[in-house]
Amino acid sequence: MIFKNMRFLFLGLALLSFCSCGFYSLSGVTLPANVKTFQVDYFGYQAVLVEPGIERDFKIKLEDLIQDQSRLSLTTKNGDYIYQGEITRYYIAPMTATANSTASQNRLTIEINIRFTNTKVEEESFEKKYSFFYDYSANIQLQGSALETALEVIYEQITQDVFNDTLAKW
| Structural domain spans, the chain | 30-168
**pTM for the full predicted model:** 0.80
Residue 156's nearest CA partner among 90, 69, 58 is 58
CB neighbour class for 153 (10 Å; exposed up to 12, middle 13-18, buried from 19): middle
| Beta strand 126-137 pairing with 103-118 | antiparallel
Pinpoint the alpha helices (H) of the chain: 2-20, 54-69, 144-163
The band of 35, judged by pLDDT with boundaries at 50, 70 and 90, is very high
CATH number of 30-168: 3.30.160.150
pLDDT digit string (tens) for 99-127?
666 668 999 999 999 999 999 999 999 99
Residue 153 vs residue 31, higher pLDDT = 153
CA-closest candidate to residue 69, choices 116, 29, 24, 114: 29
